[in-house]
Amino acid sequence: MCELLGMNANVPTDIRFSFSALAQRGGGTGPHRDGWGIAFYEGRGARAFHDPQPSAHSEIARLLRDYPLKSKIVIAHVRRANRGRVALENTHPFTRELWGRAWTFAHNGQLKGVKKRSLDLYKPIGTTDSEHAFCWLLGQLRARFSSLPSPDALDQALGELCADLGALGVFNVLVSEGRTLYAFCNKKLFYLVRCWPFGVATLIDEDLRVDFSTMTTPNDRVVVVASSPLTRDEVWLELPARTMTVFRNGQLIPHAPKSADQRSAAP
């Protein structure tokens, strides 16, 4: 299995505090030593760092713990390989272009039989289930919409497609097109919203404590999503299962459409 970390904020925000905790879990306080990666959106662009080395001992991770890259959307992943050998091409997050936007995808779980789903335009470079699922997802989106649809239409379509993939196994996933952070969970994913009045937080995995009130303005809002809580003195909420949760501008979008299987289960 693996661990995920996502961030969505309404102002460019420094992820180093949360990333330090995740990086420790890659071969330090956690067993996810089979590579790691992180993608930062800056405007329409995204830059990703990948390393097949354990993040707890990675020179590149050390740089990112020291160097403040600010972003409104970040997706990070530490890997414990199950399908696909330890190799750069199997290291999440995966990225592809669709409709002139940079898409990023990271997955925790296993999807039984996903490789039987045929692919058309997007093909995996590596051998993971996860990249195959991502290629399938983008192919389906492209078949539904010839250009970037409205946020509501995209939220709805992604919710349906992720519910479909989630029927194949454990599918905790973070996806973004640079505007929205999508989090789909069918097993375990937590989140919190940091907003005014900001307080103090202490990492679980490392002796690191931050007073957010000294580095924020009253209008700042930051959502953090993680496979398990990263701090000991904040309230982390579990994401609802089998549902697409949508974050934009540092807020949970409350009326995100439900996934198809939920709607059909309604009375």
Q: Which residues here bind its own copies, judged by CB under 8 A?
A: 42-52, 59-60, 63, 67, 87-91, 95-97, 99-102, 121-126
- Nearer CB in complex with its own copies: 53/231: 53
- Nearer CB in complex with its own copies: 127/251: 127
DSSP string of 193-238?
Answer: EEESSP-EEEBSSSS-EEEGGGS--TT-EEEEEESS--BSSS--EE
In the bound complex, what is the minimum distance in angstroms from residue 102's beta carbon to its own copies? 5
Pairwise CA distance, residues 188 & 141, whole Å: 25
In the bound complex, what is the minimum distance in angstroms from residue 21's beta carbon to its own copies? 22
- Nearer CB in complex with its own copies: 99/145: 99
Any catalytic annotation for residue 2? yes
Name the pairing type of β-strands 3-14 and 36-42.
unpaired
- Cβ 35 vs Cβ 52: under 8 Å: yes
In the bound complex, what is the minimum distance in angstroms from residue 134's beta carbon to its own copies? 11
- Catalytic annotation, pick one of 2, 135, 162, 185: 2
- Residue 257, Cβ neighbours under 10 Å: how many? 19
Q: How far is CA 220 from CA 67, 132, 194, 198, in A?
A: 21, 36, 8, 9
- Nearer CB in complex with its own copies: 60/253: 60
Exposed, middle or buried: residue 16 (CB in 10 Å: 0-12, 13-18, 19+)? middle
In the bound complex, what is the minimum distance in angstroms from residue 46's beta carbon to its own copies? 7
The residue count of the chain comes to 267
Structural tokens at position 244: 């697409």
* 103 closest CA partner among 118, 122, 117: 122
- Residue 164, Cβ neighbours under 10 Å: how many? 17
In the bound complex, what is the minimum distance in angstroms from residue 13's beta carbon to its own copies? 16
Q: Which amino acid is at 184?
A: F
Question: 98: which strand partners?
Answer: 101
- Nearer CB in complex with its own copies: 32/96: 96
Active site residues: 2
